[in-house]
Amino acid sequence: MNAVQEEVLSGLATIVNEIAGVAPDEVLPDRSFADDLDVDSLSMVEVVVAAEERFGVTIPDEAAGRMKTVSDAIDYILANR
Amino acid sequence: MHSTDRKVVVTGVGATTPLGGDSPTTWQGLLAGRSAVRLLTHAWAAETPVRIGAEIAVEPTEHLSRTEARKLDRSTQFALIAAREAWADAGFTAPAGTDGSVDPDRLGVVISSAIGGVTSLLQQYDILRDQGVRKVSPHTIPMMLPNTQGANVGLDLNARAGVHSPVSACASGSESVGYAIDMIRTGRADIVVAGGTEAAIHPLNMAGFGNMMAMSKRNEDPAAASRPYDAARDGFVIGEGSGIVVLEAAEHAARRGARVYAEAVGQGLSADSHHVTQPEPTGRGIAAALTGLLDSCDLKPTEIVHVNAHATSTPKGDVAEVKALRKVLGDAMEHVAVSATKSMTGHLLGGAGGVETVATVLALHHRLAPPTINIDVLDPEVEADIVRDEPRALPDGPIAALNNSFGFGGHNVVLAFRTV
């Protein structure tokens, strides 16, 4: 993972910790939001809104629906900001 | 398969109130005659005509994790804390179905409030107005729905026999306990976790209650503001918190060797159909609820030795209730010790019936009626034996006690409990 990806991962880890209480070091690229990180569908909306604000991107609902893993989110954010 | 007239008992109690973060400290606070009413220190309180209230003694964040708390309205946080205490007090160590001790299909939850998730509703409205649609929490609706407290406790304990939130303003907590008694009696459930909760100390409610002249304006002397039956009472003092009991079919409790606090004998219900907020002054509706109670269950007036009165410290309501008690209990009123615990806790609105159910059950269990504080001059219209300043021992032998709760809209709920 390059430095830019690391930076987004770190930001997402902070967000997921705030919303779902998961320790930041457990937020890793291959982790599923729903299955591994205790982020249910309502909390995922909060993660998406927080990510939009933090990274200055717009994440439409369809794109958010395709974000199953942390790396899905990193890829989308880097491709769209 | 299940009887339709089973005996129901109380096997667990829990509370988080202005007097304490659990039921033992709340009970000690009641016996000590301690007022929990304080000057409110919120910035908005400088603007409202009423600046006093009874806030929770232990903030819910002391018990709940931050991630758990952020999805729950403050009233639900209180209910969850009180319900978990009651559940553990009844001897359970895990949610139903996880350790084999309780069948989730036979467990119910009945918990309600007067105003629902009003704090969340108003906070999210502020966010909508100030920050826009996108910032409104996706948890807003489940946090503000009027069934939010029952639903979340039901989820926490894995209750599948039914989760209900009967709403009747300040009678909500007691109506929930009554509904729960019927769920067990009619065979729908073996155990029901029931009670009330409220978190409504918010400037909108303070302005609304204040403008309708319902609340005491004794801002200069908060501890003396809630003074049921005193000649100079001038309205209720708002409180917040929750009281929850575990009700259980007597044979189920006996089978598992549970400690039993009291029998939940039954309930009486009526409606005033008089005025949207004013109590009916003769106590006609309350008397109908009391009569309904005595007619519907095996309880004699002479068994009743204690009443935890609704008595909110309003000029009209306190007197109407006493008139109704005298009318229905007659000569039996001579040996009834009446306590108005709102003199210490303030009025917890939908939480009141829950907390006062806990207080009534503990009064029977310990045979000790908590005091009423702040009566300097007893209103001469209050023709009842009020327990004043110090707790009073209740007699030996089989005794019963009532918990009265009434609500805006004319809802009257009377619950009866008896020693076992």
Residue B321 within any structural domain of the chain:
yes
Smallest CA-to-CA distance from B414 within B264, B312, B275, B305 is with B264
Those of residues 18-77 in B touching chain A at CB distance below 8 A are: 65-68, 70-71
Residue B299's domain comprises 266-418
pLDDT tens digits for range B308-354: 999 999 999 999 999 999 999 999 999 999 999 999 999 999 999 99
Those of residues 317-336 in B touching chain A at CB distance below 8 A are: none
Query: Confidence class of residue B1 from pLDDT cuts 50, 70 and 90?
Result: very low
CATH number for A27: 1.10.1200.10
Contact list in B for residue A51 (CB cut-off 8 A) is: none
Co-location of B232 and B356 in the same domain: no
Co-location of B334 and B250 in the same domain: no
The mean pLDDT value of chain B amounts to 97
Residues linked to residue B163 through DSSP beta bridges, in sequence order: B109
Is A21 in contact with B139 (Cβ distance < 8 A)? Answer: no
How many domains does chain B contain in total?
2
pLDDT tens digits for range B89-126: 999 999 999 988 899 999 999 999 999 999 999 999 99
The residues of B carrying an active-site annotation are 170
pLDDT (0 to 100) of residue B171: 98
Q: What is the percent of chain A with per-residue pLDDT over 90, rounded to a whole number?
A: 96
CATH number for B297: 3.40.47.10
Co-location of B274 and B147 in the same domain: no
**How far is the C-alpha of B272 from the C-alpha of B408, rounded, in Å?**
10
How many domains does chain A contain in total?
1
Co-location of B405 and B280 in the same domain: yes
Q: Which residue of A has its CA nearest to B70?
A: A19
Co-location of B177 and B48 in the same domain: yes
Residue A23's domain comprises 3-80
Residue B149 within any structural domain of the chain:
yes
**How far is the C-alpha of B56 from the C-alpha of B20, rounded, in Å?**
7
Q: Read off the amino acid at residue B54.
A: A
Co-location of B295 and B332 in the same domain: yes
Q: List C-alpha distances in Å: A79 to A73, A75, B244.
A: 10, 6, 52
Is A49 in contact with B135 (Cβ distance < 8 A)? Answer: yes
Residue B4 has pLDDT above 80, yes or no: no
Co-location of B324 and B250 in the same domain: no
Residue B3 within any structural domain of the chain:
no
Residue B202 has pLDDT above 70, yes or no: yes
Co-location of B150 and B280 in the same domain: no
Residue B1 within any structural domain of the chain:
no
